[in-house]
Structure 1
Amino acid sequence: MTQFDFGTLKSRYTSFLSRRDAAKELVKFWDNPPGPGVIELAGGMPNAGFFPIDSIDLHVVSHPFEKNHGKNGLKVHMDKQEPKDMPLSMSLQYTNTEGMGPLVSFAKKMIERINPPAYGGWNVCMANGSSDAMYKVFEVLCDEDSTVMLEEFTFSPVISNIKLQGASVVPVKMQLSADPEQQGIDVDRLADLLDNWSVGPYKHLNKPKALYTVATGQNPTGMTLSPTKRRRIYEIAQKHDFLIVEDDPYGYLFFPPYNPKEPMNNAYWDDKSLTVQKYVDDYLVKSFLTIDTDARVIRLETFSKLYAPGLRLSFVVANEFLIERIFNMSEVTTRAPSGVSQALVYGVVKEMGKKYSSESEPSLDSMVTGWMEWPMKVAGYYTHRRNVAFKALYETEGYSKGLYQVMEPSAGMFIDLKPCWPQNELSRPDHYDLIIEKMDKLNQTLLKTGVQVVLGYRMAVDVKASKDTCDFVRITIAYANDDQQIVEACHRIGKGFEAYFSHI
């Protein structure tokens, strides 16, 4: 493993920084913390005695949707002295911008265990959710003459985020395939785009500084880049010298293959040999970090999809130099993430770790194991919801009549449905030129049947460039109250497609 020191990383990656980033330096009026015996009279921090909250007790369920938390769940107590490594007197106070030490250490151990970088010289920095992390990354990297590549369909706020810096976005074609080896970014077309940049459609732009990708359970398609594709994309990044920004909110929600003959099979529930380590080793697709020998990958992780989005807590993993610049960005903007959010996450994680520890104070390894049991359980429930939705969709009259296809996702919270256009529609030369109008009419029909969906074209980086593949609707299995609501929604979708196609 190559070990990079800070100076080498700074020399190598300074050229990737935006011109604005160089001007962002915090003007400090205070010294470093004093030594023992010095009375603190410098900082504007209130004494913990001024905090009105004396203690917090959390009742934690043992699995999603559990009703009686007291039976199998955990109780987490926090006060101004406990837990000793992160008491409320600390978490309710002004805290370190990079995140509180115990939680940062946990995040590092989590990366070491699950997605260890292929080099030495990396670090992590906490952020106020992935959107905050994303903004800071692109503020640090992008100027008005920068170019960033994105999958042709993506989480649309990231487009606005990049353009906010004045930078340009370029879509990368995807293969919307059920084949796990083919789905996701079309690597051959990516290579061709970059190899022929000077004569291609974006020759008026500078060559890309970065590729932004949701590599696992891609939003909105649910597709996942195979390990083979990840290696090829990384080699292209090396050849053309761009960074890879890997956003991974859904990676822990991986789906085992769906079996239409046994639609309710669920490996998370049926495999009695399943352990946390097996889940990590056999179920999860490894991050770009694990093949990152150059320190060119920036990974965004979040607690939103696994714990609670309202906590607004996430972290960034990157080489030490880029982390230092992201940290500096936080110093002059948001400062530290909410100490209460950090305390809630850390307190629960620490209590979960006790199950795997023989000591009263669990080790970081035990805490990672205890925590990973939770996303494994969450993934099991999402897999169940996937099964319920697929079964309901496949049993509708609309599907039986061949009015739509189901683009089966490999991870995440979303399912995409693609209309099966009649031959007379496909044969029209203006069919795809009118695709937005047609999809809007389909959307209105679905609303009348009582379901709200997201139209694929609204998540396209460039609708014209993706007009032949943007004709899908995205639905989520995350928010429904129960199985019955999922079934009802899917049946309404089937009726909506029937109603739409009966009038074209």
Structure 2
Amino acid sequence: MPEFDFESLKSRYSRFLSKRDCSKTLIKFWDAPQGDVIEMAGGMPNAGFFPVDSIDVHVCDKPFGQRSEDGLVAHMDRNEPSDMPLSTSLQYTNTEGMEPLLKFARNLTQKIHPPAYDGWDACLVMGSSDGLYKVFEVLCDEDSTVMMEEFTFTPVISSVKIQGGHVVPVKMQLSADPKMQGIDVGLMEEMLDNWHVGPYKHLNKPKALYTVATGQNPTGMTLSAEKRKQIYRLAQKHDFLIVEDDPYGYLFFPPYDAENPLKNAYWEQDSSLTPQKYIDEFLVKSFVTIDTDARVIRLETFSKMFAPGLRLSFVVANKFFTERVVNIGEVSTRAPSGVSQAVVYTVIRELGKRHAAEYENPIDAMFAGWVEWLMKVAGTYTQRRNIAFKSLYETESYKQGLFKVMEPSAGMFIDLKPVWSQEDLAKADHFDHIMEEMDQLNACLIKSGVQVVLGYRMAVDREASKDTCDFIRVTIAYAKDDEQIVEACHRIGAGFSQFFAQRQK
């Protein structure tokens, strides 16, 4: 396994830093405490000034459940838990995050997505959006180019452009075949090999690729292990970084069984699914697991598996890059909320108590408890996926062939594409007007009582993606129960029927 110390990483990757980042330095006016001294330097209130004595968080046994049957309570007070009490978590804390939660994040990474080199670290940030902003602040100047999947979470585009950088779309294969879906590696290679004579020759060659490699937003596609290897080889050949955003990686969907539509591998009574099997066979391994050069920056979040309002996530990268991300925090946001860190850590610690007898090390018990929770969340999303598919496939508009379903492999989203007539497709200007058509479809869906996202509005370059942007994105995450998902799908079916009926007039 390659091993990199900080100085070698600094020497190798300093050239990727933006001009602004090179000038960011925190001017310190204090010294770290030495020995048995009375603290009279830092402007920190004593914990006695905090108006909170204790916090009890009653832990649910499963998604949509009430407090756990065995009465799990994550208790926090000024002295407990001993490694992260309120006297610490309500105080100013280290910008990189408090050590107990950081230790858990590192352990989680090592057990599920172990980096392929020594010399990596993790730091906490205030949600993935904050992490991405800081990463692109570190990397991007006005002459920087970043590649992205042709459809992506649009605030990330802004995170690059606000630094003055440029974004370039990479074509995707919107396929149901797990081996094919995601980034079109052949077209990506052709674009990079012929950069100086291609459509983006006026831009510098890319400094980075941004990708949601698993359960991609908005398409739900997942890059296969083989495609990840191919893309990594391109990164080595053309010397760019890979910024891997992974908010949905734990929400893996087993294949949908049309003959048994409610079959759920997570919930079967006789299932042989264990946490280790879930990790080994369900989860697609991160780019960091093949990263022998230390060129991957990975972002993982607690938003989708715990709660987004806590605004808590972490960045995994080589120690030089994590140091630069922390440095930006030192002069901007400082540390993520100590209360958020304490709630996440203490709840996971409480979940781990169920496994305390199995492990000598408490952090291993915490890992087991957290993975058990991840599986329960993934199982509930799989149930929602099944309910949505079954309901969509039962609509008259689907039976009439008015739309097709792009079945996702992971995540929170399902994409639906109108099925255009041969007469429509034969028109030379059909795709020139596709956005107008999709706006009309959207109006019909709203009239039917359902809110969706139009695919073209998540395109990096609408003109470049006009032949594939004719889809809508729906989420299975927010509905309050299965009945509401069924009702929403029926309304979607009605909206498609109305859209095609009015086109025939």
Matched residue, 1:354:
353
Give, in whole Å, the separation in 1 of the partners of 2:284 and 2:89. Answer: 34
How much has 1:71 moved relative to structure 2? 2.0
Matched residue, 2:33:
33
Q: 1:2 to 1:70 in 2, by over 3 A?
A: closer
Paired AA for residue 272 in structure 2: S
Alpha carbons 1:350, 1:362 under 8 Å: kept: no
| Cα shift readout 1:364-398 (whole Å, capped 9, x = no counterpart) | 12211111111110000000000000000000000
Give, in whole Å, the separation in 1 of the partners of 2:451 and 2:109. Answer: 37
| Cα shift readout 1:59-113 (whole Å, capped 9, x = no counterpart) | 001100113x152451111100000000000000000000001000000000000
Matched residue, 2:20:
20
Give, in whole Å, the separation in 2 of the partners of 1:200 and 1:364. Answer: 51
Give, in whole Å, the separation in 2 of the partners of 1:70 and 1:148. Answer: 45
Give, in whole Å, the separation in 1 of the partners of 2:34 and 2:48. Answer: 21
Q: 1:71 to 1:440 in 2, by over 3 A?
A: same
Give, in whole Å, the separation in 2 of the partners of 1:309 and 1:365. Answer: 25
Matched residue, 1:282:
281
Alpha carbons 2:127, 2:314 under 8 Å: kept: yes
| Cα shift readout 1:236-283 (whole Å, capped 9, x = no counterpart) | 000000000000000000000000000000000015322211111111
Q: Describe the SS at the equivalent of 1:436.
A: helix
Asked if 1:229 corresponds to 2:235, the answer is no
Matches within 5 A, 1:133-282: 133-270=131-268, 272-282=271-281
Asked if 1:447 corresponds to 2:446, the answer is yes
Give, in whole Å, the separation in 2 of the partners of 1:162 and 1:373. Answer: 36
Give, in whole Å, the separation in 2 of the partners of 1:71 and 1:165. Answer: 50
Alpha carbons 2:359, 2:365 under 8 Å: kept: no
Paired AA for residue 502 in structure 1: A
How much has 1:360 moved relative to structure 2? 10
Give, in whole Å, the separation in 1 of the partners of 2:156 and 2:308. Answer: 17
Give, in whole Å, the separation in 1 of the partners of 2:165 and 2:132. Answer: 14
Give, in whole Å, the separation in 1 of the partners of 2:2 and 2:425. Answer: 54
Alpha carbons 1:354, 1:362 under 8 Å: kept: no
Q: Runs ≥4 in structure 1, deviation > 4 angstroms? A: 359-362
Matches within 5 A, 1:87-106: 87-106=85-104
Alpha carbons 1:85, 1:102 under 8 Å: kept: yes
TM-score, L = length of structure 2: 0.98
How much has 1:33 moved relative to structure 2? 2.3
| Cα shift readout 1:119-163 (whole Å, capped 9, x = no counterpart) | 000000100000000000000000000000000000011001100
Give, in whole Å, the separation in 2 of the partners of 1:70 and 1:422. Answer: 53
Asked if 1:8 corresponds to 2:11, the answer is no
Paired AA for residue 101 in structure 1: E
Matched residue, 1:128:
126
Q: Describe the SS at the equivalent of 1:20.
A: helix
Alpha carbons 1:446, 1:452 under 8 Å: kept: yes
Q: Describe the SS at the equivalent of 1:2.
A: coil
Give, in whole Å, the separation in 1 of the partners of 2:285 and 2:365. Answer: 21
Q: Describe the SS at the equivalent of 2:148.
A: strand
Matched residue, 1:299:
298
How much has 1:232 moved relative to structure 2? 0.2
Q: Quote the RMSD (CA, aligned, Å).
A: 1.0
Paired AA for residue 13 in structure 2: Y
Give, in whole Å, the separation in 1 of the partners of 2:254 and 2:395. Answer: 23
Matches within 5 A, 1:48-87: 48-67=47-66, 69-87=67-85
Matches within 5 A, 1:343-422: 343-358=342-357, 363-422=362-421
Give, in whole Å, the separation in 2 of the partners of 1:462 and 1:449. Answer: 30
TM-score, L = length of structure 1: 0.98
Alpha carbons 1:353, 1:362 under 8 Å: kept: no
How much has 1:358 moved relative to structure 2? 2.5
How much has 1:51 moved relative to structure 2? 0.2
Q: Describe the SS at the equivalent of 1:111.
A: helix
Q: 1:422 to 1:360 in 2, by over 3 A?
A: closer
Alpha carbons 1:455, 1:474 under 8 Å: kept: yes
Give, in whole Å, the separation in 2 of the partners of 1:79 and 1:359. Answer: 27
Alpha carbons 1:354, 1:361 under 8 Å: kept: no
Q: Describe the SS at the equivalent of 1:188.
A: helix
Give, in whole Å, the separation in 2 of the partners of 1:279 and 1:53. Answer: 40
Give, in whole Å, the separation in 1 of the partners of 2:355 and 2:61. Answer: 15
How much has 1:34 moved relative to structure 2? 2.5
Q: 1:27 to 1:228 in 2, by over 3 A?
A: same
How much has 1:362 moved relative to structure 2? 5.1
Give, in whole Å, the separation in 2 of the partners of 1:379 and 1:224. Answer: 16
| Cα shift readout 1:413-444 (whole Å, capped 9, x = no counterpart) | 00000000112211111100001100000000
Q: Describe the SS at the equivalent of 1:26.
A: coil
Paired AA for residue 55 in structure 1: S
- Give 5+ residue unaligned stretches, structure 2: none
Asked if 1:109 corresponds to 2:88, the answer is no
Alpha carbons 1:34, 1:40 under 8 Å: kept: no
Give, in whole Å, the separation in 1 of the partners of 2:470 and 2:341. Answer: 41
- Greater CA drift, 173-182 or 24-33: 24-33
Give, in whole Å, the separation in 2 of the partners of 1:432 and 1:272. Answer: 47
Alpha carbons 2:147, 2:168 under 8 Å: kept: yes
How much has 1:500 moved relative to structure 2? 0.5
Give, in whole Å, the separation in 1 of the partners of 2:71 and 2:205. Answer: 53
Alpha carbons 2:19, 2:141 under 8 Å: kept: yes
Paired AA for residue 56 in structure 2: D
Paired AA for residue 178 in structure 1: A
Give, in whole Å, the separation in 1 of the partners of 2:321 and 2:279. Answer: 27
Q: 1:438 to 1:210 in 2, by over 3 A?
A: same
Matched residue, 2:320:
321
Report the number of matched residues: 502
Give, in whole Å, the separation in 1 of the partners of 2:386 and 2:127. Answer: 30
Paired AA for residue 131 in structure 1: S
- Give 5+ residue unaligned stretches, structure 1: none
Give, in whole Å, the separation in 1 of the partners of 2:367 and 2:321. Answer: 25
Q: Describe the SS at the equivalent of 1:231.
A: helix
Paired AA for residue 339 in structure 2: V
Paired AA for residue 210 in structure 2: Y
Give, in whole Å, the separation in 2 of the partners of 1:434 and 1:406. Answer: 22
